[in-house]
Amino acid sequence: MASNSSRMRTIFRTKTSKALDKIEDPRDLLDDSYDQQVKLLQQVRQALAEVATAKKRIDLQGQELGQRYQRLGAQAKEALDQGREDLARAALERRSLIERQVAQLQSQYAGMQKQTSQLEERERRLSEQIAAFRIEKETIKATYTASEAQVRANEAVAGIGATIDDVGTSLDRARDRVAQMQARAEATDELLNSGALRDLTAPPDADIERQLAAMSAQAEIDRQIRELKGETPDAASGRPRSGGDDAGEWLSIGQGPNPT
């Protein structure tokens, strides 16, 4: 009963780990982060457009008040020329009211001008940040994909299961995941090259064939040593092993002793 319970826990942990790996794929996390930054940039641009629209309305109102201001000034002068001081005074009173209104519009326009400059600077910096993040995001995604493929290939050859650590939800965690994947790929390469892991793609009885080949090579070396010491008929007679001319002697290199 205890054994079955332990097996169930192991299966559950394995499935949970695979599900988390699928959910916390750093490539998806990076794409989500990039999309959030793009949405923020769109909001800044929308705010910039709204401020620009409001500033334009104030500008139009200011132009209209400016025209009335000039017209009232001309009317006040014309009224005085015609001896109507009362009309001139009324025109100047209205002109004074317009001055106060224009002063308020000027203050609002200056504030919106400052706000526009701030939003434009924020939009510029955010655009540069997003462009840099996009390049780094694609680089990390490509590196992760290549490393993941390499690990899967190495694990398939070695016959070992793949285990991947949890992935974070930020750019730093994605970088750590890529580093872990690259280190694992290098480790499996080293294990395969050193022979610590058996290559399941090798033909059967390959180890025996390697040993026989090594013994054959050692026997050939022993024969050549005896020949150099004069322990063979060819060395004693001082004749070359091959009966051909000097130009063809290279053809016999590595072919063993001449049977004749």
Q: Residue 187 corresponds to which amino acid?
A: A
What pLDDT, on the 0 to 100 scale, is given for residue 118? 92
Instruction: Express each pLDDT in 128-180 by its tens digit.
Output: 999 999 999 899 888 888 888 888 888 777 655 444 444 445 667 777 777 78
Please work out, in degrees rounded to the nearest 5, the angle formed at the alpha carbon of residue 19 by the alpha carbons of 18 and 23.
120
For 36, 71, 79, 81, the CA distances from 85, given in Å and listed in that order, are 66, 17, 6, 9
Identify which of 100, 112, 188, 176 has the alpha carbon closest to the alpha carbon of residue 149.
188
Length of the chain: 260
The structural domains of the chain, with segments of one domain joined by +, span 23-194, 206-252
Question: pTM for the whole thing?
Answer: 0.46
What pLDDT, on the 0 to 100 scale, is given for residue 161? 47
Q: Residue 84 corresponds to which amino acid?
A: R
Spatial separation of the C-alpha atoms in residues 140 and 146, rounded to whole Å: 10
What pLDDT, on the 0 to 100 scale, is given for residue 231? 65
CATH number of 23-194: 1.10.287
